[in-house]
Structure 1
Amino acid sequence: MSDVLPDETRLAAEIDRLKAAHPKTRELYRDVCALLFFRYGITPTANRLYQLVRRGSMGTPTAVLGEFWAELREKSRVRIEHPDLPADLGAAAGELVATLWTRATASAETALDALRDEVEAQRVEAQQSVVAARDELGRTETALEQRTAALLAAQVEIRDLDRAQAEGHAQRQALEGELARVQAALAARDRELVEVREGFSRDLEKQREAAERAEERLRAAEKRALLEIDRERSTATKLQKELDEATRRADRKEAEHRRASDAMQTQLGDARHQAGVLQGRLDAIQGSLAKTENKAR
């Protein structure tokens, strides 16, 4: 492990230096091929080149690698056909270079096929995730529409409750006005009764001879006044009971209105939050799919 780590570190440093020196992608891949093969004794493959350089598409390192092997074979052939080189040594060297080139090409094609299969599997998986996310988003949107419809219905019901509450309030005000009128009438009757009694008392002092008739008239008047007062009081008691009942109904409707409104607001907030989370997941999956397709190209 102590020998491998420094080699990897030096290799990474050399590739960084080559990246800074070569703005063109094909030239950079060609120099990395030469660096791996001649300096580090590593047979370059398209997959290995792409992992080290990370530029362009997968077709770029494959094409550059093919040119590299073709150029190497051509240069090797020139050296092999040198007139001072023995024929058997030239044949052996040519066979070695041809074998090396064939194995390297096969290895590169195998690595490229494996990478393509991996990218295709990732693309299919990402597409399936996108379809699933879209289905889930559709179900969420349907649920949100249903809850929105329920909220609108609740808002209509709330308006009806508000209208009923306003009507109850108007009815209560009318009952309160009627009660005030009755109470004023009772006070007037009480004052009238006092005046009648005082009048009869004065008449009694003045007309002793008509005391019996005056007393009878007084009793009759008091009886009528008391009956009238009892009727007015009964009416006032009935109106007060109706007013209390209307007040209780209005309070109950107001409480129901508040509970329904709070519940609907909570459901709508949850649905919007869930739709936002699902939209975020969909955006992330689509971004991953785009990156995967760029790699495949």
Structure 2
Amino acid sequence: MTLESDIEAVREHAPDTQALYREVCGLMFFRYGETPTANRLYQLVRKGSMSAPAKALRDFWVEVRDKTRVDVGRPDLPPEVATAAGELAASLWRLSNDAASAALDVFRQDAQAEIAAAREQTQALESQRNDASLKAEQAAGSVAALGQQISGLEARLVELQTANDMLNGQLAASKEELAASAAALADARRDFAEELARQRRSHDQNELRLAAAEKRALLEIDSERAAASRARKELQAANERFAALEAEHRSERDALRDGLATAKAGLAASTARCAAIDAQLSEKDALLAERLAAADLLRQRLEAMSRRLDTARAEPAPGRPARRSRVKAEAQGRVSVDFSGGPFVRRASVHKR
């Protein structure tokens, strides 16, 4: 698409003259990269008077300035960012001022060229009118044609005068725009100087804080080094204590191991002795059981003999008194032995472990 086709499309939804001129300014500046001028705007749109594009152009630059203003008034920005932002703003103002000056120069040159051409044409027309007047006196037949030509030239002169007035108005508007641009540039420079001073103060404060932080960091590093040295010494002492404890533990372990081997050997010998003693006790128990059985048998025999003796003592045989007396005396003279009430203690086997 071309600029003219875009302008025709804008005409449909921008019936207001000022809005139309501002839309065309935006198209020329942002889409096609051209710097809009009042003369160029009037040539493209051809709507309203010459003051309309001048006013629309002035409003457009004010709007662009407001939208592209960079606010760097923040104390937490780094100095490089603030400096770059200030340089960018200064560059934009410088470029816009240069573009406006160039456009004004072009406009002035075009206006001067058109004024010179109009003057030359006016002089030529005046000479032609004089010649025509002389010729009108000489040639009455060409009065009507010359009158029409003069009317056309006068109309052209009126148009040129109107264009001259419009150019003068554009020139005045351009001067006003230049004055506004200069005032805005002065404001921007003042804002930039204030911001630069703030950034310098912020930079000095940051340097002071950085020096204090560096001093604190050095103190912390020294304290950490001292703590690390103490920890290293404590670790070395702990390692030495651990080595001593380990050596003592090894000696105790070896002694316990030797004692355990000795105890195991003694236990094996004791176990062998206990086995031998158990065998002897088993033999003695068997022998004791045999003797106890013999003692029981002997006790039974003694009891039987005692009963027979008691029976015989209770029933003496007749005709033999002397013998009975003698047996009775012998029985009285003998000590009776009773094994029935005597305790027989069974010997318990003792197992020594």
Report the TM-score when normalising by structure 2.
0.41
Q: Which has the higher contact order (CA 8 A, sep 6+)?
A: 1
Report the TM-score when normalising by structure 1.
0.48
Higher helix share: 1
Larger gyration radius, structure 1 or structure 2: 2
